[in-house]
Amino acid sequence: EPEVTQTPSHQVTQMGQEVILRCVPISNHLYFYWYRQILGQKVEFLVSFYNNEISEKSEIFDDQFSVERPDGSNFTLKIRSTKLEDSAMYFCASKSGNSPLHFGNGTRLTVT
C-alpha cells in the first residue's frame, strides 16, 4: 500500500539554525498538510497546500515557517530560525479528494 514518507526520522538542531523537513506524499494525492505534536500534547494543524500554494495556515505557522513543493514528488517544511519551543514531532499528511488523511511516520525535531 502506498504511504507518505518522511525524512529524517529524527533531527537535532541548534537554536537559531534553519531546518528543512522532507516529505514524499502519496503519488496521486493533491492535498498536502503539515501537523505538529509537541510531546504529550495534541496534534495541531499547521498548514495546508494545494495547487502549488498555501490554502490555509494556523496561527502557529508564522513567518519563520514556509512550505514548498520543489518538484513533482517532494513537499518540504522549512523553519528559518529554530526556537526551543519548535521541538516537536512534525507530521506530513496527504490526501486525494474527500478521503481521510494519510500521515507519514513523523520527524522528531529536537532543538537544543
Partner 1 sequence: AQKITQTQPGMFVQEKEAVTLDCTYDTSDPSYGLFWYKQPSSGEMIFLIYQGSYDQQNATEGRYSLNFQKARKSANLVISASQLGDSAMYFCAMREGGATDSWGKLQFGAGTQVVVTP
Residues near partner 1 (CB under 8 A) are 31, 33, 35, 41-45, 48, 50, 55-56, 89, 91, 93, 95, 97-106, 108
Q: Residue 89 Cβ, how far from partner 1 at the closest point, in Å?
A: 6
User: C-alpha distances in angstroms, 36 versus 43, 49, 51, 71, 111?
Assistant: 6, 15, 22, 23, 14
Which lies closer to partner 1 via its Cβ, residue 65 or residue 91?
A: 91
Which lies closer to partner 1 via its Cβ, residue 14 or residue 39?
A: 39
The string of DSSP letters for 52-80 reads: TEEEEE-TT--TTEEEE--SSS-EEEEES
Which lies closer to partner 1 via its Cβ, residue 14 or residue 42?
A: 42
